[in-house]
Amino acid sequence: MAYNAVETITRKRDGGRLADDQIRWLIDAYTRGAVADEQMSAMAMAVFFQGLDDRELGVWTDAMIASGQRADFTGLSRYAVDKHSTGGVGDKITLPLAPLVAACGAAVPQLSGRGLGHTGGTLDKMEAIPGWRADLSDEAMRAQLDRIGAVICAAGAGLAPADKKLYALRDVTGTIEAIPLICSSIMSKKIAEGAAGLVLDVKVGSGAFMKTPERARELATRMVGLGHAAGVQTVALLTDMSTPLGLAVGNALEVAESVEVLAGGGPADVVELTLTLAREMVAMAGLDADPAAVLASGKAMDVWRAMVTAQGGDPDAPLPVARHTEVVTAEASGYLTRLDALGVGVASWRLGAGRTRKEDAVQAGAGITLHAKPGDPVVAGRPLLTLHTDTPERFADARAALAGAIVIGPTPPEPVPLVWDRIAP
């Protein structure tokens, strides 16, 4: 049956259900350029308001996978398990997690992206390491997984090209937050990547796309369903993003903190989340290993050094340091009751750690060091944050982003759990 874009858009706009072949035609035609950007923009907005039911979402995701290649890790000597985070502030978990799970015996193909806006990108962090390169051929990636067990690299252009086009469109049309489009974007790439298992870290809170547990749970449930239907073992954890993770926000700063974790130190929340996700991935792979013991043994650090070296990086090289710093002090004594993740993320972005457009450069040394977390006692006039940048004219805009993000009270706040929930098929 022949379809056309206007009929397809109006059907969804009016709350109708799209036929399977109609969805496949739409995604294929858009990828080939037969459906124009303005037409797909209208469709994205129709989906934003009318949604996709489970069958529509499954077909939509399959069509996006079918727009390109599929990787296959079945020939590896290890079980391939991946982790995906929906993005947050100070979220450097991939860096210690990939080598840790590899040291436990799994293969961890972390095909990652760059940051946009207030959330950081894994590739931007790794590129702060002198010499490290993100682009690997499929053959080099497979060889590294077999030999070392972990790789962090850029996804090839052949994986789900429909998503690349549609994501860029959503970014400029106000439809990023549509849950069906988030689901299909993440899961089309993750299923196409070919891992047998997938653990999803779905962030909840001010610094996340999903501001409420209800929306995060809906997103997680639908993604787990897509993975399960595609034959990929999938579980999701809902984790807190009301406060930045760890004490470092920014590319080189987060690499340094990740290395601290691999060395047996690091902030308690980063260590806790790394171990929690590692246990999920190790269990999925059917391995008899204790991630905490493996981390303490130093084996994860050995894998990190081998992984960085294999991709041209020098694990012993000094990391970039920003040329200018400015300290933000506590305005009162008491307890830090709130440190808003969004405010800190936007401030770090304005300092140069993030980008507004995909083609923008980032400053490797820019970002923010936290000297206290919610619940900690603070003293008036003592440092709360240190701002880092190569361009000191950015300090004023960064401080403006922090207005209202820091709250000091007479009593400590109620502790917020790091892991809110676990979603499984």
So which residues are the catalytic ones?
Answer: 84, 163, 170, 185, 189
Cβ contacts of residue 208 below 8 Å, gap of 6+? 86, 87, 88, 216, 241, 341
Q: Which amino acid is at 181?
A: L
Contact 202, 193 (CB under 8 A): no
What is the Cα–Cα distance from 376 to 239, expressed in whole angstroms?
21
Dihedral of the alpha carbons of 257, 258, 262, 266, in degrees to the nearest 10 = 40
Short-list 49, 405, 345, 64, CA closest to 203: 345
Would you call 48 helix, strand, or coil by DSSP? helix
Neighbours of 365 (CB within 10 A): 23
Give how far Cα 228 sits from Cα of 79, 223, 366, Å.
Answer: 17, 9, 40
Q: Is 383 exposed, middle or buried (0-12, 13-18, 19+ CB in 10 A)?
A: middle
Contact 151, 109 (CB under 8 A): yes
Beta bridge partners of 101: none
Cβ contacts of residue 268 below 8 Å, gap of 6+? none
Short-list 111, 118, 120, CA closest to 83: 111
Short-list 214, 213, 290, 300, CA closest to 260: 300
Cβ contacts of residue 349 below 8 Å, gap of 6+? 117, 118, 355
User: Angle 5-13/37-50 helices, nearest 10 degrees?
Assistant: 20
Sign, CA dihedral 381-383-389-390, equals positive
